Each structure stands twice: as C-alpha cells, then as structure tokens.
Amino acid sequence: MKHFEDKVAVITGGGSGIGQALACQLGDKGCHLALVDVNETGMKETKKRLKGKKITVSTHLADVSSEKAMRALADDVIAAHDRVNLLFNNAGITYAKRFEGHSLADWKKIIGINLWGVVYGCHFFLPHLKRQAGAAHIINLSSMVAFMGPPEQSSYAATKSAIKGFSESLWAELHGEGVGVTVVHPGAIRTNIMEEAMKSAEDRDAFARTQAMVDKMAMPVEKAARQILSAVRKDQMRVVIGLDAKLFDSAKRAMPDQIHKMFLLMPH
C-alpha cells in the first residue's frame, strides 16, 4: 500500500499507546478511522487529537475477546465507512506472574484478548478487505517475546508466539490475493501496558526493578507507529521494532539455547 489517503483503517486498542499513535499518524495522512477499545475515555481522547482533520472518525466500544461483539463491530464499521482497507489488530494485555501464579481465569482472559481478538478481527473483516484487494492490509501486533519467552510472561509469550505463527500462515494464504499481512514484533515501547501489568505482579518491587531497566531502552510510541506504517507501505511480512527486539531476534538464532541463561541475570 503506497499511501493511506482516503483509506479506512480499523484500529483495536485505539484509545492509547501504539493504537493511538497509529490513529494520529494515519489521520495526518488523510486516512479515515474506526477506533475500537473498551476504554471509552481513551477513544474520546484519540478522537479529540484528530479534531480538525478532514477525515471521518468513528468510535466503537467493543470487547475484542467477544465473538458477538466483533461480529457486530464489522457490521458497524461497514455501516459507518462502507469499506475497510486496513485492519490493525493491536489490542493486548499482559501479566507479570509466574505460571504457577496464573489462574485459569487469567489464561482465558489473555488468550481471549490477545489471540481470539486477532482471530475474530481477521475472521470478520477479511471478507470486507478482499473487496478492496490491491489496497488492503492486515497488521497483527506480536512481540519480541515471540522469539524467546522471558520468566513471568508465560501467558503473554504463548499468545504472542501464536500470533506470529498465525500471521505467517495467513500471509502465505493471502499472498497474491491482494491482501497484505504484516506481523509486528515490538520491543519495549512507552505504553501503559506495563503499568497495567504492575497491578498483577506477584513481586512488585522486583517487577519495578526490571521495568526500570527496560524503560532505559523503551521506544516512544510515535516512533514505533512510524516504523509500522513504513512496513505496511513496503508490504513487509514482518517488522522488528527496537534495538532490544532486534537483539532478541538475532541472539535467539545465533545462540538458541544459551541466550535463555540471560534471564537468570535479571533482578528477581
């Protein structure tokens, strides 16, 4: 996709973080937007930032883990915009817990949002995207933890690894059909996802120490959004964002077993 002007983009998690940054940058480029979030206040803030731009912006309060809600979302977006060119499956959560500290409810919640949210998004929007073949693209947010799972991130790593594999298969199936697929592997980005994870941390002091170390290399959301949109324009199958993510990717391939020992040196 060479440009975004007069296209229509659906962005889940559009009320904060990367989703909000993507919305603002796409809006600057003349792209119409369908913002999706469970946080109505966040969506209103995103829409406020887009005020004055000559685009149509719709907001949709929806739980991406709900099949019923996502089915209705697709209908609502088409009713508001008549078409869809871009689908950003961006909504996600994480936990800072050992596997033994996870309840089954934790697992169901994170799989529902992180994985089913992506599957539902693709399932219900793909028919509409195919109608825009040649000007259609799916962008799925994975993570650098899809390269190697860190401690206290078993559920997050599981869902993000699944998104990686799912996106690669989808790319192979849709290649040549006019619908691009890009899987995004961000490293540490300055969003509120880790602030939310702090609430579930079993050892908040240890989590805070680890987070302080990670924050030193965290990338601003605006820069991450620019790199994602650049990858879409270039029709890249994947994009790795941030020095930390690139190091994870390279190190895992160079030292597939030894690299995991790095986690033993992290504060705990």
Q: Would you name the residues annotated as active-site residues?
A: 156
**Residue 88 buriedness (CB in 10 A; 0-12 / 13-18 / 19+):** buried
Amino acid symbol at 268: H
Whole-number Cα distances in Å, 28 to 22, 49, 50, 56, 236: 10, 11, 8, 12, 22
Amino acid symbol at 184: V
Map residue 9 onto helix, strand or coil: strand
Name 216's Cβ contacts closer than 8 Å, sequence gap at least 6: none
**CA distance linking residue 180 with residue 233, whole number of Å:** 10
Amino acid symbol at 219: M
**CA distance linking residue 36 with residue 20, whole number of Å:** 10
Whether 81 contacts 73, CB under 8 Å: no
Closest by CA position to 70, among listed 40, 24, 34:
34
Question: At residue 237, what are phi and psi to the nearest 5 degrees?
Answer: -70, -35
179-186 sheet: strands from edge to edge: 57-61, 32-37, 8-12, 86-89, 136-141, 179-186, 238-241
